[in-house]
Amino acid sequence: MGRWEPDARGRLANAALELYSEHGFEQTTVAEIAKRAGLTERTFFRHYADKREVLFAGSGQLEELLVRAVADAPESAAPIDAVAVGLDAISEVFADRRDHARKRQAVIMANAELHERELIKLASMSAALADTLRRRGVAGPAASLTAEAGVAVFKVGFERWVAATEQREMSQLMRESLDDLKAVLTGR
Amino acid sequence: MGRWEPDARGRLANAALELYSEHGFEQTTVAEIAKRAGLTERTFFRHYADKREVLFAGSGQLEELLVRAVADAPESAAPIDAVAVGLDAISEVFADRRDHARKRQAVIMANAELHERELIKLASMSAALADTLRRRGVAGPAASLTAEAGVAVFKVGFERWVAATEQREMSQLMRESLDDLKAVLTGR
């Protein structure tokens, strides 16, 4: 990237999300995204493989962040508490991005193919989380089940956080969702 | 379907699974499936939209069965116990199909696209389950969380059931997986 394109990547992402929100994902072209960002198509393709990639470029980083936080949780932490540490780490990253996240969520829920892609990213997160828990010594199905529970909490907590009228912080909603999951499972 | 093709659908499904197991999903053609089943391609396409559909034709029925069992569970049953009734109903259907299920699982896990399709079917199951729980009066995020927990138990219980050396019944493995999930969440 040249010095004359400060944060080209971020500008392209914002322009893309604006256009997807205004005209729909399918109706938007890479040429329009580049134009809105004041950049060229060539620059777009230096940063993203295609227009779908703009929406999912952050998923890999999110997974890494979650996995690292869970791996680094105190050795004495129970598996589900290590996962809660991971959810806290994710919540910090999202703190200032609620408006962006709401727009992205609306775009994704409006398109079946994007929604499927999102589900696949969440499944990848669950598999990575299970691997991390196994490396922490969690044996057998408990690793997969704890990982699935963590991703379920993330999914539901995230949906609550991006809901139109919701004002509470993500970290609080994740904690509440985890408590809710414990409650429904134990019938309390 | 003419009288001269008794259980053409089942014969095509078995022939397809055999060929996918022997040569791989990608390498198998519809012409080969029809030939192995002793039928024509035209008959194949009367039963299935394409060769992928053969593997997922049962997913819709499975979801219906689960949803109906949960909807019909005793009114007094806690949400997670209604889900357990649904998992029992599924287990009955699979009882005699372990060999078929093992082969299908191996084919699906060997192909990224099929694996993604399977994840999407599971997500659809979770959404249908959450809707059913809402109709049973389960409010707010508890419906989604209970549904996600149910699908997590199904996923992990199913993986245990198709494992090469596993001999216990699916219903038992589902119950154990649910107990394991409760245990990891409550730290017991």
B141 contacts A156? CB cut-off 8 A = yes
Q: A interface mutation test: which of B185, B186, B188 has the most A CBs within 10 A?
A: B185
Q: How far apart are CA B5 and CA B44, in angstroms?
A: 11
Q: What does the CA dihedral B176, B177, B181, B184 come to, rounded to 10 degrees?
A: 70
Q: Would the CB atoms of B152 and A159 count as touching at under 8 Å?
A: no
Average pLDDT of A161-187? 95
Task: Provide, as residue numbers in chain A, all residues whose Cβ is less than 8 Å from the Cβ of B186.
Answer: 182, 185-186
In whole angstroms, what is the distance from residue B73 CA to residue B94 CA?
20
CA distance A31 to chain B (A): 29
Q: Residues B111-138: what's their mean pLDDT?
A: 94
pTM for the whole thing? 0.91
Which residues 62-121 of B are in CB contact (within 8 Å) with A?
Answer: 78-81, 116, 119-120
Query: Average pLDDT for residues A56-68, to the nearest whole number?
Result: 94
Q: What is the DSSP letter of B77?
A: S
Contact B187 A81 (CB under 8 A): yes
**Which tokens is A31 given?**
């040429």
Separation in Å, CA of B1 to nearest CA in chain A: 33
pLDDT confidence of B1, banded at 50, 70, 90?
very low
| CB-CB under 8 Å, A149 with B149 | yes
Residues B186 and A179: their CA atoms lie apart, in Å, by: 10
Q: Is B163 on the interface with A (CB under 8 A)?
A: no
C-alpha distance from B157 to closest chain A C-alpha (Å): 9
d(CA B40, CA B55): 19
- B146/chain A closest Cα distance in angstroms: 6
CB contact under 8 A, A153 and B146: no
Mean pLDDT estimate for chain A: 94
Is A5 a residue whose pLDDT tops 80?
no
Contact across the interface for A177 and B141, Cβ inside 8 Å? yes
The Cβ of residue A123 has, within 10 Å, a number of other Cβ atoms equal to 20
Question: Can you give the pLDDT at residue B187?
Answer: 77
Whether A176 has a pLDDT exceeding 50, the answer reads: yes
Taking the CA of residue B175 and the nearest CA in chain A, the distance in Å comes to 13
Average pLDDT rounded to a whole number, residues B43-71: 95
Q: Which chain B residue shows the shortest CA-CA distance from A144? A: B156
| CA distance linking residue B35 with residue B33, whole number of Å | 5
Task: Give the pLDDT confidence score for residue B106 in this predicted structure.
Answer: 96
From residue A8, give the alpha-carbon distance in Å to each of A1, A14, A38, A45, A69: 8, 10, 9, 11, 29
Q: What is the DSSP letter of A38?
A: T
Predicted pLDDT of residue A127: 95
CB contact under 8 A, B156 and A149: no
